[in-house]
Structure 1
Amino acid sequence: MGVVEVLVHATDEISAAGVEAMLAGRDSLRLVREDPERPPDVLVMVVDGAVGTSTFARLRRFRTGGSAPRVVLVAERFRSEDLLPAVECGVSALLTRHELREGTLSAAVTAVSRGAALMPYRLQGVLLDQISRLRSQVLAPAGLTLSGIETRERDVIQLIAEGYQTDEIADRLTYSEGTVKNVLYGLMARLRLNSRAHAVAYAMRAGVI
């Protein structure tokens, strides 16, 4: 993996300078300035006090456009009700200010850039419970999964992965062939998938099938 481009955003200049000093000099990291045309690989956001709605508003500003950075969020404290909004805003790591050390921060940035997620142990179970409730109380009644794939789309893709043709899928699911084609077309158009094989691969990566 190449050099990781890191943007530091803080509520005050002193915090920003301190965090940048912790990351400066690392060969694997490069500090960058905000550029709307080129998002960084990792955004380190430092919040004075607790996380709040203003924090999420700032994070969403960095998620406009086709790509968005992974986020390391540093704050005094985190409330359990802020976990899901944080994840929705691209937060991959949560660090409290008292954990903020040169080695800890650079390790978190590097891990996040490679796809890892870091969260205090006390919050991991809380987040899993919230996701479980979201799935059972909100998504499932609407026929959706956590991946954003509808239940009937998942059923169709599952049978495609098993080698069934359109007429066989229609027979097994008691749909018309037209319905099967419409379900598949809707999924592929929404997720910009270019073939049945691409749709199957996407569903497998998302853990749907």
Structure 2
Amino acid sequence: MSEKITIILVDDHILVRAGIRSLLESIANVEVIQESGDGIEALSLLRAHEPTLLILDISLPGLNGLEVARSVTKMKTKTKILMLSMHSDIEYVAKALTIGSHGYLMKESAVDELETAISTLMSDKQYIGKNIDLQMVDKLKGDSNQDSDLIELLTSRQRQILQLIAEGYSTREIALRMNVSIKTVETHRAHIMSRLNIFDIAGLVRFAIRSKLICLNEEPH
């Protein structure tokens, strides 16, 4: 890789992030220019710095990695997206690729595979980790399910609020985090419930899990 590659690294575990950053900066012509542990902040950093590559975990507070990737693909940016995750579930892989991620790599992958993945993406090619079943991913990419269809009925702001609700944030906390009024959050929540035909918080949490907005192994707020 002869040209300089600038990277924004997003992972909510500080020690994991430090380890990944160290690996990245051992690769020639690679520079980690910013890092974050929060999905909302990651989008702000991307808009401000427009890196060559965005490396994203899936399990992020506020706005998960899949939703960050979805937002990035709607921007007019040349930034490549590499999902770097502990989740081996091919549903995550298929969803990440469907919404526009350029690659998917498991955190358990060999160190040298990270460099291979970056090099592949810089050559405008897709990279899928060696330990991922490509045939199953391709099959799932072509499939549709009710939850996937329903989530598309929500705006990006509504998906963000749904994730925060599922993470256990109160209406007031969501309003403060998103810098909007309590009334605005309540209005969005009502619209979410109406569009999903789900009218209780427990039901919204179950839907958020099924649609991969939050992961079962994430700790509640």
Select 1:62's aligned residue among 61, 72, 83.
72
Match of 2:125 among 106, 109, 116: 116
Between the aligned residues of both structures, percent identity stands at 9
Pairing partner for 2:54 from 43, 57, 71: 43
In structure 2, C-alpha distance between the alignment counterparts of 1:121 and 1:100, rounded to whole Å:
10
Pairing of 1:23-38 with structure 2 (within 5 A): 23-33=24-34, 34-38=45-49
Change (3 A) 1:98 1:82: closer
Q: CA deviation at 1:64?
A: 4.5
Q: Give SS of 2:81's match.
A: strand
Task: Indicate conservation of the 8 Å contact 1:45/1:72, yes or no.
Answer: yes
The residue aligned with 1:12 is 13
What is the alpha-carbon distance in structure 2 between the residues aligned to residue 112 and residue 74 of structure 1?
A: 13
State the alpha-carbon separation in 1 of the partners of residues 15 and 56 from structure 2. Answer: 13
- For normalisation by structure 1, the TM-score amounts to 0.52
Are the aligned partners of 1:74 and 1:95 in contact in 2 as well (CA < 8 Å)? yes
Total equivalences in the alignment: 130
The CA distance in 2 between the partners of 1:17 and 1:46, in whole Å, is 13
The 10-residue stretch of structure 1 (15-24 or 25-34) with the greater mean CA deviation from structure 2: 25-34
- Unaligned 5+ runs, structure 1: 135-209
CA distance in 1, matches of 2:59, 2:142: 31
Among 83, 90, 96, the residue aligned to 2:100 = 90
3-state SS in 1 of match to 2:88: coil
Contact 1:69–1:90 (CA under 8 A) maintained in structure 2? no
> Which structure has the greater CA radius of gyration?
1
| Matched residue type, 1:41 | T
Alpha-carbon spacing, 1:99–1:67, altered in 2? closer, same or farther (3 Å):
same
What amino acid sits opposite 2:14 in the alignment? E
CA RMSD of aligned residues (A): 2.7
Distance (Å, rounded) in 1 between the aligned partners of 2:78 and 2:104: 17
Q: In structure 2, what residue type is equivalent to 1:11?
A: D
Q: Deviations over 1:119-166 (max 9, x none)?
A: 2464210122234557xxxxxxxxxxxxxxxxxxxxxxxxxxxxxxxx
